[in-house]
Amino acid sequence: MPRPGTTAETYVAYGMTQKLFEACSSQADYSIPQATQKGAQVPKTEAGEDLGVGEGWWYEDHFSHNAEHRMDVLHGFTSRTIRNKFLKDLFIQWRGVLAAYDEGIVKGDAVLGAAIWRNLWKASHTGPDGKELDWTKIARVVAYMRRVTSELSQVSEADLISQLCQQTGDKPSIFGYSELDKRLVQGKR
């Protein structure tokens, strides 16, 4: 490792945070395959929002770059002024989401579940398919967040990147989906 205070320190820090961002964002990655196909129609929700194909279980400086890239490449926002407006909105929303989740982590599962419902399901009683919302999905997300928070608290800062990406036998990485999350919601150990 380079000596602290050297020019390389900035690049090492950026490289490490990039790896951390990639490990975390892989849980909520999405793409819009039609965006790269000439003349293809991008699917939309009933509200007119672009509908991507999600990968992974979920969805700071890296986030802004990635969001701006996706606005340009996947959604066709070529104007930097428009992208900057959306980036400012995303930043405000991000701060609100963090505050809501922090409050839920401190105050309990009901408050955390309400924050998840507002932020992931847009406070709707129906899912994206128009059917009645399956509330066990929210409970699974709460269980997932509690498990991940607990596991992260046991990892030293120096080992964080390797632990996030590491899968041991049948046990997934910290952010990976675990059957334990499902069993916790069902009341089984």
For the chain, the domains span: 1-58, 60-99, 107-188
3-state secondary structure of 6: coil
State the pLDDT confidence band at 172, using cuts at 50, 70 and 90: low
pLDDT in tens, 123-162: 999 887 888 999 999 999 999 899 888 888 888 877 777 7
pLDDT in tens, 63-114: 777 888 899 999 999 998 898 888 888 878 888 898 999 999 999 999 999 9
The Cα–Cα gap between 115 and 102 comes to 10
DSSP one-letter code for 4: T
Neighbours of 27 (CB within 10 A): 19
The Cα–Cα gap between 22 and 24 comes to 5
Q: Measured at the alpha carbon of residue 70, what is the angle toward residues 25 and 15, in degrees to the nearest 5?
A: 45
DSSP one-letter code for 175: T
Per-position DSSP letters for 35-92, written without gaps between them: GGSTTPPPPB-TTS-B--EEESS---HHHHHHHHHHHHHTT----HHHHHHHHHHHHH
β-strand partners of 54: 30
The answer to whether 34 and 117 have CB atoms below 8 angstroms apart is no
pLDDT in tens, 29-58: 778 888 888 888 888 877 777 777 766 544
The answer to whether 24 and 164 have CB atoms below 8 angstroms apart is yes
Task: Give which of 81, 59, 61 is closest to 71, Cα–Cα.
Answer: 81
> pLDDT at position 108, please?
95
